[in-house]
Amino acid sequence: MTTIPPLDLTQQYKTIEQEVSTAVLDVLASGRYINGPLVDEFADQFGRYIGTEQCVVCNSGTDALYLALRAYDIGPGDEVITTAFTFIATAETISGVGAKPVFVDIELDSYNLAVDKLEAAICDRTRAIMPVHLSGRPVNMDAVMAVPKAHNLTVIEDCAQATGAEWNGQKVGSIGHAGCFSFFPSKNLGGCGDGGALTTNDADIAATAKMLREHGSKVRYYHDAIGVNSRLDAVQAAILQVKLPHLDQWNRQRQAVAERYSALLAPLPHIARPSEIEGGTSVWNQYTIRITAPNPAAESDSPNCRDRIREHMQQHGVSSMIYYPLPLHQQPVYADLGYGLGSLPNTELAATQVLSLPMFPELTAEQQTQVVYSLKDALAQIAGG
Ligand SMILES: *Cc1c(COP(=O)(O)O)cnc(C)c1O
């Protein structure tokens, strides 16, 4: 029995090994390890790829979100509307600048924040909306951008899982006021370490983010604000520069994998497949299904149906992931926000039902058949499918 991992970064590396090692060795020989022309060059290339006039690279996607919030002067007393069905960094950075995250529920078919719930969440403290393009699937940005006009809000897109995704032919990260990207290894464009970028068309915001990234200084050793140290290493910039020209091809391979899954899964009972997003182009950082089988164990302490199916698949050599088992409004760290059980029903339901199947560009059709076979078998054993 062969084992299928949720993702495999070694296969991609093998295809570009020579280019990457040459680029890294050049950096090592150059003596320019922090900032410098290569980092600036990559920032320009990434900004051009996304389609914004400005791009500020930094140490992580988390830092990109933090720098964006700081650059827009969002802080204590302010509220930012976002989703609870995301990685902690989205809300953590809102809290990190002293503002308050306000969670709206998700759409069950896309797992993205429900755009029709935004308006009702706005109050006079609201400063920004932070949509998350979860799993590489774009939020309806027309609907999002229609909201801030009347309320003078800033839209900061969390594009960490969606590098290359499009809404109406425009790359995510170029539609809101700012876009925040992660180059964490498992993201669509991943380095060999941490990295991130902030994209915007606003030159003042970019200059402020750059200043904050360099300890709040524009001129070295003169400090205008309390900043952070968040630069992109030249080694990472060199690796990302090699990988960027391949990104569209890798995203197309992910799209082909998603299409094959959707076809293979169609006949299976109790499975909700990810929907088409009309107007959007997804880049499938994850392929996430919901297991909708009746779930008598859900009320008890025993593992729910989804967890037992996951375990069964694991025993048959197929690793899957749960993004995310505990939504942010139910995390201990956010208990003080006072969201009760049932306050975000779709989010809470999704957390008990979602399962992300193995997804990476090099996944073969044979491997996908094995994944779906193990799921089918698990359903038959556990859900009577
Ligand atoms: C990965 C991720 C981040 C944070 O990116 P890092 O580079 O790991 O700091 C933020 N938001 C979402 C939705 C993510 O998936």
Atom of ligand 1 nearest to the CA of 86: 13
CA 63 – ligand 1 centroid, Å:
9
How much is the mean pLDDT over the chain?
Answer: 95
What does the pLDDT read at residue 385?
58
The answer to whether residue 1 scores a pLDDT higher than 70 is no
- The torsion region of residue 48 among left (phi > 0), alpha (psi -120 to 50) and beta comes to alpha
What does the pLDDT read at residue 192?
97
CA 94 – ligand 1 centroid, Å:
13
Q: Which of 59, 63, 87 to mutate to test the pocket of ligand 1 (most atoms within 8 A of CB)?
A: 87
What does the pLDDT read at residue 303?
72
Give me the percent of the chain exceeding a pLDDT of 70: 97
Question: Which segment of 102-106, 142-146, 276-280, 363-367 scores lowest on mean pLDDT?
Answer: 276-280
Place of tokens 């200043």: 211
What does the pLDDT read at residue 224?
94
What does the pLDDT read at residue 340?
93
What does the pLDDT read at residue 235?
98
The mean per-residue pLDDT over the stretch 303-314 comes to 93
Contact between 34 and 383 under an 8 Å Cβ cutoff? The reply is no
Ligand 1 contact, 374 CB (< 6 A): no
- The torsion region of residue 218 among left (phi > 0), alpha (psi -120 to 50) and beta comes to alpha
Q: Which of 7, 62, 356 to mutate to test the pocket of ligand 1 (most atoms within 8 A of CB)?
A: 62
DSSP E strands in the chain: the ranges are 54-58, 79-83, 100-104, 126-129, 154-158, 166-167, 170-171, 178-182, 196-200, 217-219, 222-223, 271-272, 280-281, 287-291, 354-357
The 10s digit of each residue's pLDDT in 10-60 is 999 999 999 999 999 999 999 999 999 999 999 999 999 999 999 999 999
The answer to whether residue 369 scores a pLDDT higher than 70 is yes
What does the pLDDT read at residue 223?
96
CA 182 – ligand 1 centroid, Å:
6
The 10s digit of each residue's pLDDT in 178-220 is 999 999 999 999 999 999 999 999 999 999 999 999 999 999 9
The answer to whether residue 301 scores a pLDDT higher than 80 is no
How many other CB atoms sit within 10 Å of the CB of residue 24?
17
The 10s digit of each residue's pLDDT in 157-169 is 999 999 999 999 9
Binning pLDDT at 50, 70 and 90, where does residue 302 land? low
What does the pLDDT read at residue 41?
98
Ligand 1 contact, 191 CB (< 6 A): no
The answer to whether residue 297 scores a pLDDT higher than 90 is no
Distance CA 250, CA 379 (A): 31
SS3 content of the chain, % helix, strand, coil (to 5): 45, 15, 40
Spell out the domains of the chain, with CATH numbers in brackets.
Answer: 10-103+110-246 (3.40.640.10), 247-383 (3.90.1150.10)
The answer to whether residue 149 scores a pLDDT higher than 90 is no
Q: Which of 90, 135, 183, 285 to mutate to test the pocket of ligand 1 (most atoms within 8 A of CB)?
A: 90
Positive or negative torsion for Cα 338, 343, 347, 352: positive
Ligand 1 contact, 158 CB (< 6 A): yes
Contact between 302 and 296 under an 8 Å Cβ cutoff? The reply is no
The values of phi and psi at residue 72, to 5°, are: -85, 10
The 10s digit of each residue's pLDDT in 66-99 is 999 999 999 999 999 999 999 999 999 999 999 9
**Measured torsion, CA atoms of residues 217, 220, 221, 225, in degrees rounded to the nearest 10:** 0
Binning pLDDT at 50, 70 and 90, where does residue 266 land? very high
Atom of ligand 1 nearest to the CA of 183: 7
How many other CB atoms sit within 10 Å of the CB of residue 248?
12
What letter does residue 340 receive in the DSSP assignment?
A: P
Amino acid at 84: A
